[in-house]
Structure 1
Amino acid sequence: MSEPITTTGGVRTMVAVVQERYGVEPEDVLRTARLARPGIGPGEVLVRVRASSVDRGTWHMMAGLPYAVRPVSGLRRPKLPNPGRNIAGVIEAVGSDVTGFAPGDAVYGTAVAAFAEYAATRPDRIAPKPTGLTFEEAATVPVSALTALQAVRDKAKIRDGHRVLITGAAGGVGTFAVQLAHAFGARVTAVASTLKLDAVRALGADHVIDYSREDFLVGPRRYDAIIDIAGNRGLRDLRRALTPRGRLVITGGETKEPWLGGADRQLRAQMLSPFTGRHLGTFISSEHADGLRDLTGLFDAGALRPVMDRVYPLAETAAAVRHLLDGRVTGKLALTLPAG
């Protein structure tokens, strides 16, 4: 670990993860340092972060891959100090134009450079933290659960009685998607690896398939919706498993191709969709307070719960990202920060 960055002149500082260049190995590019606390504008709030979490987007921003992300993240080097997005914590200060929030409020949502003791964000990206969740549990929700909610409710349009197939069901988005589809009354078939089948069954899946032992697209089953998170099957096979009016929602699809990283399959699905009776497509998840409040209602009603694989201290962020890349995670990985 490098020597910490310090500040002088009485500037208030904080501990944060720092990334100064792109790299595919988290141990090579992520370190902790002491930085100045972020300032806030009239329409922003400052959150004392109690917990954060990592997801696949963390690695993409860290590595700058696929290259398509770099117009946002920075062409040659990262624009932001660190790739964190999820936060759960307590409001420290509010800007002069902010209403509806006050110092001391417990909140969760998204912010830039969230792997830090303090993060600045906008009120439309946070919501009151569900009372039944710890800060660590709440921090696993925003990016992954919002993606799952938009995939299940808004894009797949799942309703009572629908037959739904969810690939990658044991991951961060998948564990939320299984619960949401079940809560909306669907008959859920979940695809996962051998060691994770019991976990997804406990989330409400009616039928589980071990992809290492069975081809989940072979056979007579047809689905009203397929939410493809794992992203390792071709469009032709997925289309055949849909009902004549079925909907395919692609929310993942990782490849080693450096320019688009698998997004070409998503683009082809959207181009093909007008020429078939089935709806084939993808979407870019949006991070907003309305969705967070909808999720809070589901948590409060007992219809949804986070699945946490492990909790790491902020200083071990690189180890958390490494654990994610190893592919053995069920649910989410949280990062915790001290309350003081």
Structure 2
Amino acid sequence: MTSKMMQAIQVYQYGGPEELKIENIPCPEPKEGEVLIRVEAAGVLPIDWKIRRGLTKNIVPVHFPYIPGSAFSGVVEKQGPGVTDFQIGQFVFGRAKGTYTEYTISSVDELIPMPENLTFTEAATITGGAATAYNALFNEGKLVSGQKVLIHGAAGGVGSFATQLAHWKGANVIGTASTKNLDFIRLLGTDHVVDYMKTQFEKVVKDVDLVLDTVGGDTLQRSLSIIKPGGTLISLVGQPPIDKAKELGINAKRSSSFASKEDLWAIADLIAQKKIKAIADNIFTLNEVQHAHSVSETGHGRGRIVLQIADTLSR
């Protein structure tokens, strides 16, 4: 047990953003197969506030107090017994349990070395938005060049990555967004934009091979009318109408959101090569975490939300 202390966000009970408390707690020690990470940046994902509110307690139970967050980038601070794959001082990104903190513990199985020209901000967005989009489009949606894909919520944390990835793949990309975000999603590679505030997408879109829904609600049911037989509906936020879809010859499924290490490598390489870009329009400090969660809960942001943990986000 170390006597070193660290700042971390603690949650003691389910509730609103006010339940996010910044405290000084003991720094953890890595065990066999683990490393201690000095966190530079942490991704703020929608699942984080859903867990905090207790909306997922039957699926993702927590033990209070807990530290929120799972996506991070940082620097290897200390190796656990037997760890040789990662060296002290190495820049990494990945997944961990509790990343709204100065230091976190990560299994070496969840770590990826950062490419040379990636920033900590960019890397912190990968295991959340980018990985979810990559898995949904390519592993589950089987999207290939020349196909037509509709992305609901194309400006959001997942949607902004999905739009770029689909464009990179050579698909015909249709995106829905609010009026203020139409130019933004055009810049990401959307071929056809739909202002959902003014137009019902089913009136202007048809014969789609794949729909990726990051919005939920009645969007799932309405999407069935514009998917061609043999097409696919992937939902990230709700249970799709599987039986109705089957009657129409459509494959509907809920995305698992888990990407392999190979997928994470591929995404990092695409960002490093400037084929796609990580968009984090909302960057907050650890002290501003309550505000960060409030922004996330609105669901109307651009790109990913990131917490700046260290004093600097660049190397």
Q: CA deviation at 1:237?
A: 2.4
Structure 1: distance between partners of 2:299 and 2:267 = 26
Partner of 2:4: 12
Residue aligning to 2:73: 88
Partner of 2:278: 306
Asked if residue 289 in structure 1 is aligned to residue 261 in structure 2, the reply is yes
2:176 equivalent among 177, 186, 191: 191
Q: Which residue of 2 aligns with 1:31?
A: 21
> Where do 5+ consecutive residues of structure 1 fail to align?
1-8, 253-262
- Give the Cα separation in 1 of the matches to 2:190 and 2:205: 19
What is the RMSD of the two structures over their aligned residues, measured on CA atoms? 1.9
Q: Does 1:148 align with 2:133?
A: yes
Equivalent pair of 2:177/2:195 in contact (CA under 8 Å): yes
Which amino acid letter does the alignment assign opposite residue 146 of structure 1?
A
Would you say 1:316 and 2:308 are equivalent positions? no
CA contact (8 A) 1:183 1:303 kept: yes
Q: Which of 31, 42, 60 is residue 32 of structure 2 equivalent to?
A: 42
Distance in structure 1 (CA, Å) of the matches to 2:287 and 2:205: 50
SS at match of 1:88: strand
Q: Where does 1:1-340 land on structure 2 (aligned, <5 Å)? A: 11-23=3-15, 25-27=16-18, 29-69=19-59, 72-74=60-62, 78-79=63-64, 81-219=66-204, 221-233=206-218, 235-252=220-237, 263=238, 265-266=239-240, 268-269=241-242, 271-272=243-244, 274-286=246-258, 288-339=260-311
Where 1:232 maps in the other structure, the secondary structure is coil
Identity %: 33
Aligned to 1:255: none
The alpha-carbon distance between structure 1 residues 234 and 332, as it changes in their structure 2 partners (threshold 3 A), is closer
How far apart are residue 97 of structure 1 and its match?
Answer: 2.7
1:331: how far off? 0.7
Matched position secondary structure for 1:308? coil
Distance 1:319 1:197 in 2: 25
Residues 210-219 or 160-169, more deviating: 210-219
User: Scaled by the length of structure 1, what TM-score is found?
Assistant: 0.87
* Alignment gaps of 5+ in structure 2: none
Structure 2: which amino acid aligns with 1:18?
A: Q
For residue 220 of structure 1, report the CA deviation from its aligned partner: 5.8
Q: Secondary structure at the match of 2:291?
A: helix
* Residue identity in the other structure for 1:36: P
| Alpha-carbon distance in 2 for matches of 1:136, 1:289 | 19
How many Å apart are 1:54 and its aligned residue? 0.8
CA distance in 1, matches of 2:74, 2:302: 24
| TM-score, length of structure 2 as denominator length | 0.93
Equivalent AA in structure 1 for residue 138 of structure 2? R
Q: In structure 2, how many angstroms separate the alpha carbons of the residues matched to 1:324 and 1:177?
A: 18
1:221 deviation in Å? Answer: 2.1
- With over 3 angstroms needed to count, the CA separation of the structure-2 counterparts of 1:100 and 1:243, relative to structure 1, is same
Q: Compared with structure 1, are the counterparts of its residues 97 and 289 closer, same or farther at alpha carbon in structure 2 (3 Å cutoff)? A: farther
- 2:262 partner SS: helix
Q: 1:166 to 1:92 in 2, by over 3 A?
A: same
Instruction: Give distance in 1, aligned partners of 2:65 and 2:211.
Output: 35
Say whether the 8 Å CA contact 2:175–2:190 is kept in structure 1. Answer: yes
Deviations 1:195-215 (A, max 9, x none): 111111111111111000111
Alpha-carbon offset, residue 275 of structure 1: 4.3
